[in-house]
Amino acid sequence: MLNKQEAIELFKRSGALLEGHFLLTSGRHSNQYMQCAQVLQYPDETEKLARHLAEAFQEDQVELVVGPAMGGIIVAYEVARQLKTPAIFTERQDKEMCLRRGFSIQPGQRVLVVEDVVTTGGSVEEVIQVVQEAGGEVIGVGVLVDRSGGQVDFGTKTRSVLDMDIQSWEADKCPLCSEGKLPVIKPGSRSV
């Protein structure tokens, strides 16, 4: 399994974890920015991250891996490939998380729920509900990056590759602005 430093290096190397001076969508400033999709463009790096989760759940008789679109699709696919199970994904229809495309979960099926980044845990909670409504048994939750600061509790075995609480400040209290050294950058897409 990857230790914290190895995981941080992997995210930095792939451009998923940036360091600098960032303006977040919330209006706050931060010295770090995480865009998890950046790492998922590299299959060999994704394989290493997924291995961490596959190993964490290899004794749990997982029969199906499910992740929410978009972030969870690639994670589910690669974790499932390593656990030798199928992978499916949930998506939103009229804002409601559901299974589409003929995907189904069998009653009693042992399901691992995965996601790229967890902040509030909302999407994962919704996937858990979809699995349970189908009669599946959620045996655990695996995430690449837990940004909740240990605040989320899914009521099941939960493992993450990296626990990371990214610091941010109100713009007028930002120490980087006070130092006046760096221009503040607004990253291209929404912070995840």
Is 176 a binding residue for Zn ion by CB under 5 A? The answer is yes
Q: CA dist 145 to 23, 39, 107, 115, 120, Å?
A: 20, 12, 30, 8, 12
Please answer whether residues 58 and 80 qualify as being in contact, where contact means their C-beta atoms are separated by less than 8 angstroms: no
Tokens read off for 42: 């590299």
Q: By CB under 5 A, name the one of 36, 65, 75, 174 that touches Zn ion.
A: 174
Which residue lies nearer to Zn ion by CB, 94 or 179?
179
Of these, 29, 50, 72, 79, which contacts Zn ion (CB under 5 A)?
A: 29
| Interaction between residue 24 and Zn ion (CB under 5 A) | no
> Minimum CB separation from Zn ion for residue 172, in Å?
9
Query: Judged by CB under 5 A, which stretch of 52-60, 95-103, 153-161, 169-177 contacts Zn ion?
Result: 169-177
Binding status of residue 147 toward Zn ion by CB under 5 A: no
Q: Give the C-alpha separation, 180 to 156, whole Å.
A: 45
What does 64-84 look like in DSSP terms, one character per residue? EEEEETTHHHHHHHHHHHHHT
Q: Which residues bind Zn ion (CB under 5 A)?
A: 29, 174, 176-177
